């Protein structure tokens, strides 16, 4: 199988790259080449900016065709329109990595499958993915463009900590707060249901759909079947760190209102919702598929890797100070409430 990955070194795409390199696959990566040195095996590189469409066609892929093209970095309609122009006659299957955040928010049913209506009032990222999906499916219906849409949810690997709240520099600051004995913020009461999926499991699902004619014209979600509360997720992170867990629970809407960070989409439009993913469609298309890495095992590997690799330990002072201010404000408010209760008893 001859495969082109657009990207190839991100959280999801690197796992796909590494697994394909162990199989009988002629693998090409189309990217700028800045992170290809991180891959364990050499690949066939097409070093280019995919946004430079004319130069790419004339110089890099003019005489190439593929069994499968996968785009991991398509966020705008103009990007998938470009891909259609580039690859409509150069591939037997085009796989677009969308997102499970496209599903209707607020949800009418916490059990989610591919028939759940699309629509997210709270997150522009999700709405753009919906637009991209709609364009690609229109090209399938009108022109026979062989598209498969994949909807992953919250995905992590050894370099990415799957937390609900973080600043611009990722999840390391949550680990540092735990190690320093400081409390961490958890949205709501921490009891909403969520699913986190290891990138290696997601990659096996994506690869199972490659070259699968039954997946053409279909949208398929790929997640673990494990369903955890956010309290359990944070508790497992603390357990992997071998430290006690201290949590402060704050209403999701309050976190959105008191933060300069963009939590409205990622919380109200995604992680604050209880969701259980129904993966029967994937298992029908890829018989024998099963997510094999339980979160408790996967997070131990993530924590171990991040603790031993300084490049993963980017501190985020702005996020840390914000957490401290929110916690201090809550504690002050609780003291005031207690004082008022005492005063009321004196009346």
For 245-264, the pLDDT digits (tens) are 999 999 999 999 998 788 99
* 63 domain-assigned: yes
* 346 domain-assigned: no
* 280 domain-assigned: yes
Backbone angles phi, psi at 323, to 5 degrees: -60, -45
Whether the predicted pLDDT of 220 surpasses 70: yes
> Domain range holding 324?
2-329
Mean pLDDT of the chain: 93
Q: How confident is the model at residue 137 (pLDDT cuts 50, 70, 90)?
A: very high
Whether the predicted pLDDT of 347 surpasses 70: no
pLDDT for the residue 60: 86
* 214 domain-assigned: yes
* 190 domain-assigned: yes
Q: Is 142 exposed, middle or buried (0-12, 13-18, 19+ CB in 10 A)?
A: exposed
Q: What pTM value is reported for the model?
A: 0.93
pLDDT for the residue 37: 64
Q: Which two tokens stand for residue 144?
A: 């026979």
As a whole number of angstroms, the distance between CA 202 and CA 18 comes to 12
Q: How confident is the model at residue 49 (pLDDT cuts 50, 70, 90)?
A: confident
* 345 domain-assigned: no
Q: Which helix (H) or strand (E) holds 277?
A: strand 276-277
* 334 domain-assigned: no
**In terms of DSSP H, where are the helices of 41-76?**
53-55
* 340 domain-assigned: no
**In terms of DSSP H, where are the helices of the chain?**
11-20, 53-55, 77-87, 124-143, 172-179, 199-209, 230-241, 252-257, 263, 280-285, 295-308, 317-346
pLDDT for the residue 31: 85
pLDDT for the residue 346: 56
Q: How many domains does the chain have?
A: 1
pLDDT for the residue 38: 67
Q: Is 55 exposed, middle or buried (0-12, 13-18, 19+ CB in 10 A)?
A: exposed
Q: Which two tokens stand for residue 8?
A: 């190839």
pLDDT for the residue 40: 64
- Please state the rounded mean pLDDT for residues 16-44: 82
The CATH number that applies at residue 38 is 3.40.50.720
């Amino acid at each position: 199988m001859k495969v082109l990955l657009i990207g190839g070194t991100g959280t999801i795409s690197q796992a796909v790259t590494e697994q394909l390199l162990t199989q009988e696959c002629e693998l090409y990566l189309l990217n700028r080449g800045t992170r290809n040195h991180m891959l364990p095996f050499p690949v066939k590189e097409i070093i280019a900016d995919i946004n430079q469409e004319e130069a790419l066609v004339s110089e890099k892929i003019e005489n190439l065709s593929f069994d499968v093209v996968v785009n991991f970095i398509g966020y705008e309609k103009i990007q998938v329109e470009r891909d259609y122009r580039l690859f409509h006659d150069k591939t037997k299957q085009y796989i677009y990595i969308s997102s499970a955040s496209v599903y209707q928010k607020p949800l009418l049913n916490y059990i989610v499958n591919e028939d759940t209506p699309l629509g997210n009032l709270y997150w522009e990222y999700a709405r753009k993915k919906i637009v991209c999906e709609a364009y690609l499916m229109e090209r399938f219906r009108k022109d026979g463009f062989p598209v498969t849409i994949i909807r992953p949810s919250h995905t992590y690997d050894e370099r990415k900590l799957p937390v609900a709240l973080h600043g611009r520099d990722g999840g390391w600051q949550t680990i540092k707060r735990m190690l320093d004995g400081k409390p961490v913020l958890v949205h709501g009461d921490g009891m909403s249901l969520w699913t986190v999926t290891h990138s290696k499991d997601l990659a096996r699902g994506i690869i199972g759909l490659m070259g699968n004619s039954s997946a053409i014209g279909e949208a398929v979600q790929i997640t673990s079947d494990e369903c955890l509360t956010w309290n359990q997720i944070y508790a497992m992170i603390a357990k992997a760190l071998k430290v006690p867990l201290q949590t402060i629970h704050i209403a999701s809407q309050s976190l959105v209102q008191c933060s300069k960070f963009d939590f409205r989409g990622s919380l109200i439009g995604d992680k604050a919702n209880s969701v259980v993913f129904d993966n029967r469609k994937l298992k029908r298309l890829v018989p024998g598929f099963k997510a094999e890495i339980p979160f408790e095992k996967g997070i131990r590997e993530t924590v171990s890797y991040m603790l031993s690799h300084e490049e993963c330990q980017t501190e985020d002072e702005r996020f840390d100070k914000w957490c401290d201010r929110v916690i201090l404000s809550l504690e002050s408010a609780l003291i005031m409430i207690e004082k008022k209760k005492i005063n009321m008893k004196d009346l």
